[in-house]
Structure 1
Amino acid sequence: MKNVLITGTSRGIGFELAKIFSENGHRVLALSRNSKPISELNLKNVTAFDFDITEAASISAVTEFLKKNMKEVDILINNSGALVNKPFSKISSEEFKKCYEVNVFGVAELTKAVLPFMKKAGHVLNISSMGGIQGSVKFAGLSAYSSSKGAVITLTELLAEEYKESGPSFNVLALGSVQTEMLEEAFPGYKAALSATEMAQYIMDFSLNGNKFYNGKVLQVSSSTP
């Protein structure tokens, strides 16, 4: 049984991740702004509470929970994300900032809070996007989102270097199109070849075993573009 912390569990891939980890006998702390979808499932060994990755009080609540309950975290999956889909000239400074607060600054703060509970064999897995890959196809309207996902990739590489002696390992998956609510918001009407459940299964398997083979790596997990 692994102790797993997952963000962005109210819908999409994160929601499916919490279910799959539970089904496979692992202990999960599921975090999202809306904990109700997971809480209502009454999943075995899953704790869910409302969490805002941009709020210091929420980060502190996670720290207190870990101290009193889990004691140790084997896997941290930074899956939560905020999307802005607007022409660059129409995006307000607040919208741009909020996107980065969730996708970059929040990821950094939560990771910093969880690291004291992780050992060398632990694995921090960040979820990014193909839009953050240098040289990949880019799409108008996603300047805030895709650039923030590029920042997550670089952050992952830097943390892997900084913690390469003590651990844990850090890797990042740059996802292509997956049939989720966020995909519909970014590309209305587009139908992806992969379901959220299929991608969640891949992510779970990689989080459990990928750090045996990779550290500081970005893997492009994309069967189609967008």
Structure 2
Amino acid sequence: MESKNIVVTGASRGIGFELVKLLSEHDHHVLAITRNKDSMIKLQKTHKNITVLEMEITQKKDLKAFKDFLFSLWKKVDVVIHNAGALIHKPFFKTSLEDFIEVYKVNVFAVAELTKIILPLMKKGGHVVAISSMGGIQGSRKFAGLSAYSSSKGAVITLFELLAEEYASIGINFNVLALGAVQTEMLANAFPGFKASVTPSDMAKYILDFSLEQGHLFNGKVIEVSNSTP
């Protein structure tokens, strides 16, 4: 497969970390966006083609630095994988307006802003993938206490349906993967004692294949990737 330029957010741990590693092993050039680059330093030493950009994706100054980097050094993006996510686990009546805003800033607003920056560097055949959740799927079983998180994951699904229509004539595809429970650090922190049967490495393999091999088959779609309903 021809080497591609791929942007991955939320790269420092869990699915994002495994995904960056796999993409590099497949000889793709990866821009790994993370809030903490320390965990990526060792990976950079053993895996080629990884560029780490430490930034806060909700901050205007960091978004500007990201844009400057892309337009001056990369100048082309083939695939974007919006993997970064924020989760707050609280009963609804204890979930403040500030909690909702913080979750939506990461899970929806930053996805929109990053996509807006990247799109001028994408051409026909480009693929933008958002990692959502089964919690954002209508009719699926929901985890109690995730009113902000799950509603934000539903919002990003609708956003990508709209972008798929808006950019269909250009040939850039937008799709969403709604994941079931994966045994990540974020899940463990939110639900101590809960054990998922899917590992970050397993899910990273699926996301890689979908993002690189199947993007041309779908546009504006939500693919449910779950062996359970949560």
TM-score, normalized by length of structure 2?
0.96
Q: Quick one: distance in 2 between partners of 1:104 and 1:23?
A: 30
Query: Does 2:111 align with 1:110?
Result: no
Whichever residue aligns with residue 11 of structure 1, its letter is R
RMSD: 0.9
Query: Does 2:151 align with 1:147?
Result: yes
Show structure 1 runs of 4+ deviating over 2 A.
none
Structure 1 portions without partners, runs of 5+: none
Q: Quick one: distance in 1 between partners of 2:71 and 2:113?
A: 17
Q: Quick one: distance in 2 between partners of 1:116 and 1:39?
A: 30
Q: Quick one: distance in 1 between partners of 2:10 and 2:121?
A: 20
| Paired residues, number | 226
The correspondence for 2:57, drawn from 22, 29, 53, is: 53
Q: Secondary structure at the match of 1:40?
A: helix
Query: Does 2:13 align with 1:21?
Result: no
Query: Does 2:132 align with 1:128?
Result: yes
Question: Structure 1 residue 39: deviation in Å?
Answer: 2.4
Asked if structure 2 preserves the Cα contact closer than 8 Å seen for 1:77 and 1:127, the reply is: yes
Query: Does 2:222 align with 1:215?
Result: no
Query: Does 2:103 align with 1:94?
Result: no
Q: Quick one: distance in 1 between partners of 2:144 and 2:133?
A: 15
Question: Structure 1 residue 56: deviation in Å?
Answer: 1.1
Asked if structure 1 preserves the Cα contact closer than 8 Å seen for 2:140 and 2:229, the reply is: no
Q: Quick one: distance in 2 between partners of 1:101 and 1:138?
A: 21
Q: Quick one: distance in 2 between partners of 1:18 and 1:57?
A: 24
Match of 2:74 in 1: 70
Match of 1:186 in 2: 190
Question: Structure 1 residue 225: deviation in Å?
Answer: 3.4
Match of 1:172 in 2: 176
Question: Structure 1 residue 186: deviation in Å?
Answer: 2.9
Structure 2 portions without partners, runs of 5+: none
Encode CA deviations 1:143-168: one digit per residue, 9 max, x unaligned.
00000000010001000001000131
Asked if structure 1 preserves the Cα contact closer than 8 Å seen for 2:90 and 2:146, the reply is: yes
TM-score, normalized by length of structure 1?
0.98
Between 59-68 and 114-123, the greater mean CA deviation after superposition: 59-68
Query: Does 2:87 align with 1:83?
Result: yes
Whichever residue aligns with residue 192 of structure 1, its letter is A
Q: Secondary structure at the match of 2:43?
A: coil
Encode CA deviations 1:52-90: one digit per residue, 9 max, x unaligned.
110111111111111222110000000000001000111
